[in-house]
Structure 1
Amino acid sequence: MGLATARILGRDHRVVISDVNQQRLDEAVTELAALGIDADAVPCDITDRSSVDALLARASEPGPVTAVVHTAGVSPQMGSAETIMRINALGTVHVTEASLAVADEGFALVNVASIAGHMLPGFLIPRRAYRLALTDLEKFARKMTAAASRGPKAMRPGSAYSLSKNFVIWYSQRQAASFGARGARVLSVSPGSFDTPMGRLEEKSGAGKLLDYAALKRFGDPAEIAELLVFCASARPGYLTGTDILCDGGTRAGLGLRGMIAMARGD
């Protein structure tokens, strides 16, 4: 999704792309160059605040950063509950705080959440742990991992993913006033099942099953979500902030309580 977004943004903006993996970065730069896009590539580990600060500092060298599209994250098949929480939740805090530090009039931060964040029953949402993100990040990470680790071991990565993405939605809304004080915006976008390597990795673990409930019976194309991310990051929706946009092919609209229970059970 990030690369698809860079393909569009790079048509008329200077683009800085980032990844924790240098090889993926090199491949992305080569692909963008073939499209006539001269992208600057900076390695970054979003679980390390100093690494994120260095990324924003590098991006700011030629001039002010006007937008950040934060697509980094991992899915349940890609790590333990703790790993998922530190990347998806703690990493989002680091990116958001670093973005706020450089935000100016007209700036926009778009965090990528997930339909999974919309599927948690209210009683399972640890809002007290969420609020720790504002005061004590290490305690926040521990409490969030503990919240995801209450059920059977096999279900913990999935729980961590849903919790982390629900947090991204909450946190983006919570930070809207801070960004607004600078004349800037922050919001989240929640994709459903998309035809990306991560989406296909999760196809048999739920992403494919979601299509049974969708209005559009197919995986989304990365270019489709990229168009939305680019629009949100642009100046065009200048009054759009503190909210989440669900882009899921109508999946959540067709997924009632019975369907959510079936998904949770793996039926």
Structure 2
Amino acid sequence: MRFRTMKNVTVITGGAGGMGLATARVLGRDHRVLICDVRQERLDAALAELRAQGIDCDASVCDITDRSAVDALVQRAAQSGTLASVVHTAGLSPQMAEPETIMKVNALGTVNIVEACLGHAREGFALVNVASMAAHMMPSLLCPTRAYPLALSDADTFLRRAVRRANLMPKALYRRGMAYGISKHFVIWLSRHSAARFGEKGARVLSVSPGSFDTEMGRLEEKSGSAEMLRTAALKRFGTPAEIAEVLAFCASSKAGYLTGTDILCDGGVIAGRRG
């Protein structure tokens, strides 16, 4: 392993592209960075780019739905230095998969990240989970919130109930959108629910809800009407990866040392425009 010991290390899931790679560029200024993704070729390209910029980094293939793989990822980072933070950007959008897969990756994958991080949390550690402004657009009555705690004890039942709720929608695209919204609403809930457990160790956990950003995934979601929502936004443009990366990096840093158990909405004023 190329890492030496005792330097601050940050893990970035989904770090091979989009906001994850942009965040690696920011945090890589003063941290060693371990990026992960499910595709080796994307990791190879990202790793070459980051190293060319002088960033001390390494990469690991990791499927976040596999708890043992997530445990190994976090363990690797913890053994390579002082694990300072994890920024969890990995996830699927409505255009990328069916409801059950979206729920497995976005919701249960985040459970795996939270639990693995909790085992290594220490004073000053921070976990930043990426949610979505879609969670803020979900009517609470449509979210199966009573099933959320089951994700920590009976994942199969949680998954079944959440997917069943999404499948109430009449069209496939709506069902995928509903699954995405529920999964990200769950991420906000889980981050808030986990704050006390992290706090016992002097550590933090929170979520950030991005709006429409100019990333590969963000542009893919134009088909779902993300660009249309900008018409009523305060800032009528897509955000840049660099802008959301700065938010994520700040939340993960010691500068945000009193920020935990909450969600940061970074959407250019889309939700504000919808609510008037």
> Is 1:203 aligned to 2:222, yes or no?
yes
SS of residue in 1 equivalent to 2:233: coil
SS of residue in 2 equivalent to 1:15: strand
In the alignment, the residues of structure 2 paired with residue 33 and residue 183 of structure 1 have an alpha-carbon distance, to the nearest angstrom, of 32
Q: Among 127, 137, 143, which residue is 1:109 paired with?
A: 127
Residue pairs, 1:1-267, within 5 angstroms = 1-154=19-172, 155-256=174-275
In the alignment, the residues of structure 1 paired with residue 158 and residue 141 of structure 2 have an alpha-carbon distance, to the nearest angstrom, of 19
Q: CA deviation at 1:150?
A: 1.4
In the alignment, the residues of structure 1 paired with residue 156 and residue 65 of structure 2 have an alpha-carbon distance, to the nearest angstrom, of 11
Q: 1:170-225 CA distances to partner (integer Å, 9 max, x unpaired)? A: 11000000000010000000000000000000113121111011111100000000
Asked if the contact 2:31–2:56 (Cα under 8 Å) also holds between the matched residues in 1, the reply is no
In the alignment, the residues of structure 1 paired with residue 244 and residue 170 of structure 2 have an alpha-carbon distance, to the nearest angstrom, of 33
Corresponding pairs, count:
257
Q: Which moved more, 1:60-69 or 1:186-195?
A: 60-69
TM-score normalised according to structure 1 size: 0.94
In the alignment, the residues of structure 1 paired with residue 28 and residue 91 of structure 2 have an alpha-carbon distance, to the nearest angstrom, of 22
**Which residues of structure 1 form unaligned runs of 5+?**
258-267
Q: CA deviation at 1:129?
A: 1.1
Q: Runs (4+) of structure 1 moved beyond 3 Å?
A: none
**Which residues of structure 2 form unaligned runs of 5+?**
1-18
SS of residue in 2 equivalent to 1:208: helix
RMSD: 1.0
Q: 1:116-143 CA distances to partner (integer Å, 9 max, x unpaired)? A: 0000112111111111123212222222
- What is the letter of the counterpart of residue 212 of structure 1? R
Q: CA deviation at 1:153?
A: 3.7
TM-score normalised according to structure 2 size: 0.91
In the alignment, the residues of structure 2 paired with residue 25 and residue 16 of structure 1 have an alpha-carbon distance, to the nearest angstrom, of 10
SS of residue in 1 equivalent to 2:71: helix
Counting aligned pairs with the same residue, the percent is: 66
Q: Which moved more, 1:57-66 or 1:47-56?
A: 57-66
